[in-house]
Structure 1
Amino acid sequence: MLMSNSDRAARLHYMANGFRVLSPGDHVACAATGHRIALEDLRYWSVARQEAYATAAAASEAMAPR
C-alpha cells in the first residue's frame, strides 16, 4: 500500500547546494517563525545549524550575531 506524505513533516539533512530527505514528508517548519514551508518552496536553510527558514529575512535574523 502506498503511503501519502501529505500533512507530514519531512526530516532533512541540509547541505551547501541542496538537501537530502531523511524521512519523507511534504513540509518542514521554519526555525525562526514556526511557519510551515512546503518542500518545493524551501529556499533558505543553515547547513551549520541544520535549520530551515521561510524567508531570507527570517534566515538573516536567525543568523545575526547577538
Structure 2
Amino acid sequence: MLKHKYKDLINMNVIQEEVKNRLLTFYLYWILLIFVFGHNKIMNMKIYHLSQKIVYRNILNNLKHNPY
C-alpha cells in the first residue's frame, strides 16, 4: 500500500517535470519568435525611414535644380 502510494508520487513528480520542461521550451520558442519578428519590424521601419529621407532629399534637389 505504502509502496504503491510512493510510486504514484514519483510518477506525479516525473509528470510535473515533463510539463515544466515543455512549458519552458514553449516559452523559449515564443520569446525567440517575438525577438526575431520584432527585430525584423524594427529593421523594416529603419529601412522605410531611410528610403523616405532619400525620396524627400531627391524631391528637394529636383526642386532646387529646376524651379517651376
The verdict on a shared fold, with TM-score over 0.5 as the criterion, is no
Structure number with greater CO (CA < 8 Å, separation at least 6) is: 1
Into which bin does the TM-score normalised by the smaller protein fall? under 0.3
Bigger radius of gyration: 2
